[in-house]
Amino acid sequence: MSNSPTPIFLAENRSWTYWFADGLPQLLIGISVMLFGFFFIYMGTPSLSNALVVLAIVAFAAYMLIQIRAPQILDWLKTRITYPRTGYAASPYFANKNNICRDANLNLPPAPDPNAPAIAEIKRLRKERNRRLSRTYILLALTSLALWFVHTSWICALTGIVMGIILWLGTRADKSVSLLVVLGFPVVGFYVGTLQLNPHARVGSFIFGAGLLFLLEGLVSLLLYLRRNPVANVPVA
Amino acid sequence: MTPDLQALATLDRVVHEPARLMIMTVLYAVPETDFLYLQRECGLTQGNLSSHLAKLEEAKYVTILKTFKGKYPLTICSLTKLGREAFEDYVRKMRYVAGATAGGNGT
C-alpha cells in the first residue's frame, strides 16, 4: 500500500490545523503563560508590597482558571469569532477520546470493528501526534530546569536556543507553532540573560517572555484570519 | 463475473457518489462539523450540499441537528453508527479492489 496521506488522514489533519487557524488557542496559551510568568517573578521576591502580593495571587488564580476552563473559553471565543466566518468543526484536540466511539455517548453499542482500517488510521495519527506533543512538552520542561539550577547569564540564551530547536522539531509536522515563536525563544533568552535577576525572577521573566511570544503569534494569526475571512451569510441546510 | 468484480457491484451507492464520499470522509475524521465548514471543506454549493446531506440523512448515515451557539445558528452534522459502518465497509471493499487490481489478494 502507498504511504501517501489518504483523504481521511488529510481531513483529520485539516481539522487539527483549523483549530489553530484563528490564533485564538495561541492567544489563550500566551495569556495563561504570561500570567504564570508574572506570578513566578514575584513569588520568590522578598519584601513585596501588599498590592504586588495580591496582583501575583490574582495572576495565579487567573492562570488556573484558564487552565481549567480552556475548552469553554475557547468555545465561547470561537462562537463569536470563528464559527460565523468559517464554520464549526469539533476540535480533535479535545475530542480525541470520544470521537471514535461517539455513539457510546448516545447509549448505543460502539462500532463492531475497532480495527477497521479507517479507524486504525485515525487512531495511529492521533497517537503519533499526542506522543510528539508530549515529548515536546517534557523536553521543554526539562530544559527549563537549566534556568533554575545554573546561575549564569549565558544559560538563558542557551536555554532559549535549545527550546526554539525543540519547539521547531516537535511542531513542524503539524505547523501548530510558527517561526515567530521558534525564533523568538532565543531572542527572549538573550534578553533575559542581559538582565541582572535572581533565579526566581530569571525563570519568571523567561516564562513571561515565552507567553508574550505566543500572545504575539495569536494576535498576528487572528488579524490575518479576520482579514481573510469576513463574516459569512449563515447557511441553513 | 470474477469475485473481484463482484466486490465492485456490492459497493454502497449512497456512499459511492463522489460528493457524498467527500462529506462522509470529513465527518468520519471530525467528530462533528457544521454546514459552513463542510461546505468549505468539500467545495460544494449550498444547494448541492443540502441535497447530498438530505440523501445521507435519509439513509440514516448522518444526523443533522439544528441548534444555536450563543446567537449563531449551527447546523451540526455527524455520522451515525450506521454511517460509520457503511463508510468502513466501503473503505474495506475499495481497498480489496485496489489490492486485487495491484495483483495482491486485496486483504
Q: Which of A13, A17, A88, A93 to mutate to test the interface with B (most CBs of B within 10 A)?
A: A88
Q: Residue A156 above 70 pLDDT?
A: yes
The pTM of this model reads 0.78
What is the pLDDT, as a whole number, of residue A4? Answer: 66
The 3-state DSSP class for residue A181 equals: helix
> Mean pLDDT lowest for which of A30-34, A85-89, A231-235?
A231-235
What is the pLDDT, as a whole number, of residue A208? Answer: 92
Tell me whether A123 touches chain B (CB under 8 Å): no
β-pairing, B62-69 with B33-34?
A: unpaired
Q: Residue A139 above 80 pLDDT?
A: yes
Tell me whether A71 touches chain B (CB under 8 Å): no
What is the pLDDT, as a whole number, of residue A106? Answer: 37
What is the pLDDT, as a whole number, of residue B43? Answer: 92
> Cβ contact (<8 Å) for B31 and A90?
yes
What is the pLDDT, as a whole number, of residue A104? Answer: 36
Tell me whether A8 touches chain B (CB under 8 Å): yes
> Percent of chain A scored above 90 by pLDDT?
26
Digit-coded pLDDT (tens) for B59-88: 999 999 988 877 778 889 999 999 998 998
Question: Which residues in chain B have their CB less than 8 angstroms from residue A102's CB?
Answer: 31, 78
Q: Residue A99 above 70 pLDDT?
A: no
Rounded average pLDDT per 10-residue block, chain B, 107 residues: 69 90 92 90 92 94 87 87 90 76 51
> Cβ contact (<8 Å) for B30 and A11?
yes
Give me chain A's average pLDDT, please: 80
What is the pLDDT, as a whole number, of residue A107? Answer: 35
> Cβ contact (<8 Å) for B36 and A99?
no
What is the pLDDT, as a whole number, of residue A111? Answer: 45
Handedness of CA A147, A150, A156, A158 (dihedral sign): negative
What is the pLDDT, as a whole number, of residue A152? Answer: 76
What is the pLDDT, as a whole number, of residue B73? Answer: 84
What is the pLDDT, as a whole number, of residue A3? Answer: 59
What is the pLDDT, as a whole number, of residue A27? Answer: 94
> Cβ contact (<8 Å) for B78 and A102?
yes
Burial of residue A116 (CB within 10 Å: 0-12, 13-18, 19+) is: middle
Q: Please answer whether residues A214 and A167 qualify as being in contact, where contact means their C-beta atoms are separated by less than 8 angstroms.
A: no
Looking at residues A56-79, what average pLDDT do you find? 91
Cβ partners under 8 Å of residue B106, min gap 6: B4, B7, B95, B96, B97, B98, B99, B100
Handedness of CA A33, A37, A38, A39 (dihedral sign): positive
Looking at residues A200-210, what average pLDDT do you find? 87
What is the pLDDT, as a whole number, of residue A117? Answer: 59
Looking at residues A131-159, what average pLDDT do you find? 83
Distance CA A92, CA B31 (A): 8
What is the pLDDT, as a whole number, of residue A124? Answer: 76
Query: Could you report the predicted ipTM of this complex, rounded to two decimals?
Result: 0.80
Which chain A residue shows the shortest CA-CA distance from B84?
A: A111
What residues 133-172 of chain A have any CB closer than 8 A to a CB of chain B?
none
Distance CA B48, CA B22 (A): 12
